Structure 1
Amino acid sequence: MLVGTDSRSAEPTTGTDAAPDVEPGSQRSDVLMVAQISPERTNASVVSIPRDAWVEIPGRGMNTINAAYALGGPSLLIRTVENLTDLRIDHFAVIDFAGFESMVDSVGGIDVRVAAATSNHGVDFHQSLNHLDGAQALAYVRQRYNLPRGDLDRAQRQQNALRALLSRAVSGGALSDPAGLYDLLDATSRTVGVDDTLSNGGLRSLAFELIDLRPSAVAFMSAPVRGLGREGVQSVVCLDDLRAAELWSALRNGTPADYAQRHPADSLGHPGVTNTGDSAFPIRRT
């Protein structure tokens, strides 16, 4: 499980560079993705779950899924996702804003394609291809206003940035050159917090196993959404329970590609393309 927190700290609050007094889970999770790697390490899937998805949090009742991290840290968030998906979460990784900037800068920036000109936090994005450094990439993934589907488009931007980061690491030789791989892993260990079962040695072993995995072999999808609604004063995202059950089943059975073929609207699409101008699937309010 990949989690991004909404810490505004200028210093990392995750990874080995984190301040010693940081409390895990003191922030709400701004980004939530479930990543699955095939046993043969030749393909992978990444599924975004909207941060405002209205779900059952074990022992806490119904709430937005990002509240689980604030209420009970990584363990409660993992239990919530496992309860929702019936998937076993083997590993947990969390990164904050400062860490994301550092990761992007460690590979020399990322290239993303934007459908329509827009701006956020003083950064202007022009239509077509944009090369972004860490600070610009952060503005890109944080934007939700002036995007047609708000948070749902932002989730696609986050996936697009992750795909661009993988592409940059591959094209720049970071995954094939030992020195480049060491630098990337060093940046990862300094800025990304992982569970106790993933030591630096474990990260290195996993990275070497994934050397032959190409970005084109990583399917990016979003949990299917039925509509938007309100619960009290909260704006919430209502998942499509039937189609979501089909997606979770496909992940359990190792057939996410089949699901993506049946439901192309739930997929990110071609590498380097993000939906900042057109809706990928219709949204209705409930």
Structure 2
Amino acid sequence: MLATVCARYGRGRTALMWGYVVGDKSTTEAEVTGRDEVVDREEEASGAGSAEAEPADVQEPARDPSDQAIDASGDPSARPRRRRSRARRVLLGALVLFAVGLFMVGGVVWWAVEHYTGNVDRISGVFPTQVPAAAQPAPSEGGQTFLLVGVDSRSELPTTGRDAKAPEWKYGAQRSDTMMLVHLPADHSGAYVVSLPRDAWVDIPGHGKAKLNAAFSWGGPPLLIDTVQRLTKVRVDHLAVIDWDGFKNLTDSLGGVDLVVDGASRHMNGTQALTYVRERHHLARGDFDRTHRQQYFLRTVLAKVMRPSTFTNPVKAGKVLDDLTAAVSVDDRLGDGDLRDLLWDNRNVRPGNMVFMNAPAKGTDMISGQSVVLLDAGAGADLWRSMRKDTVDDYLQSHDVDRLGATTS
């Protein structure tokens, strides 16, 4: 049976291939197909009633679609079908190349994410230990909360980031001039940034009443986190720290920033921007206006980093991402995979759907010869509760909030 099948299809195929190879234009595929049919009839006639005839349930192998599409009479109308078949093969090839291209692009993107998340410096031992159970906050009911800290270091060497040459904390050598609690809701719809005044008069464990920024100076990240958690009863999931050296480098890598000051737009480099965010003595509301300046600067930087034009130049994009990831230090619980998940989950968050505000406060006072900020415990309790329950948006709709406006001076 196998010999019969091979003979039936082999002779026609061989003649067709030979005709193309030797260049015999008179031997067309239609003619070969016709010869196949003649051979078929002769073999059927000779094999009728023979004991070697094929069983009725054995079917012929399926013929090539392009052969079936061509009429045995050589009618040229069958040729467009062959052209359509070739077009389909070309289209299939193009799709395959496109898929390969996507895999290549995906590979490059994955490499970039791996590279830049691996750039971020990790700090060990940032979370407080030996804290009484009653002072330990329960995990939030949804989302994550980060504590962002801007450090005023007295070291001439970088203290944070990949290029740090000095310890991120040394007793009395650094002060946390900028402290923000950033809550990322579970639905990834935005972000809520709450500034904690550096001069807030609070209880610092083991030290009594003092300004909030003294906690970092006396005990580094663990004491600051412990102080903030006892104040708010909000669990701090992760910490991110940047010193002023990293701040200036990041600003300069972006080509500076444009800020509106006293109604006029001003372009600032890293050094000028640092002076802008640290100013408070000549501001109408002192520390409250300074925190809004810091929020305004952060929002402006984020908007510039996320601008499509930042990434149209691969060299510029690489430098910005390199400087950004090299300037910041995070806790060692935030692994590379966690950072990738964080970026992916919040990929649709933009500065426009981020809310910047100050922690509720009653005003200022002088205590022991120091100008301090008095926090509003009642309004603050409602805000911190909304963070724990992941309902900050509800809080904003029912409370007056010291929010950042479109611009600030």
Do both proteins adopt the same fold according to a TM-score greater than 0.5, normalized to the shorter chain?
yes
- The equivalent residue for 2:352 is 216
Distance in 1 separating the partners of 2:212 and 2:186: 28
- Give the SS at the match of 1:2: strand
Residue 107 (str. 1) matches residue 254 (str. 2): yes
1:249: how far off?
Answer: 1.4
Q: Which runs of 5+ in 2 are unaligned?
A: 1-146
- The equivalent residue for 1:121 is none
Structure 1 residue runs of 4 or more that deviate by more than 3 Å after TM superposition:
8-11, 20-26, 172-185, 199-205, 261-265
Give the one of 68, 71, 85 matched to 2:232. Answer: 85
Q: Tell me which amino acid in the other structure corresponds to 2:367.
A: E
Query: What does residue range 102-251 of structure 1 map to in structure 2 within 5 Å?
Result: 102-114=249-261, 116=262, 127-174=263-310, 183-200=319-336, 202-251=338-387
1:145: how far off?
Answer: 2.1
Say if 1:175 and 1:64 are closer, same or farther in 2 by CA, change over 3 A.
farther
- Identity within the alignment, %: 45
Residue 23 (str. 1) matches residue 169 (str. 2): yes
- Give the SS at the match of 2:332: coil
1:49: how far off?
Answer: 0.5
- The equivalent residue for 1:94 is 241
Query: As a proportion of its length, which structure holds more helix?
Result: 2
Deviations 1:33-63 (A, max 9, x none): 0001112322111000100101111222111
- Give the SS at the match of 1:207: helix
Distance in 2 separating the partners of 1:72 and 1:178: 41
RMSD: 2.3
Residue 257 (str. 1) matches residue 404 (str. 2): no
Q: Tell me which amino acid in the other structure corresponds to 1:41.
A: H
Q: Tell me which amino acid in the other structure corresponds to 2:357.
A: M
- Give the SS at the match of 1:261: helix
Say if 1:72 and 1:56 are closer, same or farther in 2 by CA, change over 3 A.
same
Distance in 2 separating the partners of 1:174 and 1:198: 26
Deviates more, 1:20-29 or 1:48-57: 20-29
Q: How many residues align?
A: 262
TM-score, with structure 2 as normaliser: 0.59
Distance in 2 separating the partners of 1:96 and 1:211: 26
- The equivalent residue for 1:120 is none
Give the one of 160, 165, 189 matched to 1:14. Answer: 160
Residues 242, 327 of structure 2: 8 Å contact kept = yes
Residues 175, 211 of structure 1: 8 Å contact kept = no
Distance in 1 separating the partners of 2:323 and 2:273: 16
Residues 154, 174 of structure 2: 8 Å contact kept = no
Residues 252, 270 of structure 2: 8 Å contact kept = yes
Give the one of 194, 197, 200 matched to 1:47. Answer: 194
Residues 364, 371 of structure 2: 8 Å contact kept = yes
Distance in 1 separating the partners of 2:211 and 2:400: 26
Deviations 1:47-93 (A, max 9, x none): 00100101111222111111111111101100110111110001111
Say if 1:159 and 1:176 are closer, same or farther in 2 by CA, change over 3 A.
farther
Deviates more, 1:172-181 or 1:19-28: 172-181
Distance in 2 separating the partners of 1:85 and 1:212: 28
- Give the SS at the match of 1:92: strand
- Give the SS at the match of 1:145: coil
Deviations 1:164-222 (A, max 9, x none): 11111112455899877654442233221211122455434423333211101111010
Distance in 2 separating the partners of 1:22 and 1:84: 24
Q: Tell me which amino acid in the other structure corresponds to 1:71.
A: W
Query: What does residue range 59-70 of structure 1 map to in structure 2 within 5 Å?
Result: 59-70=206-217
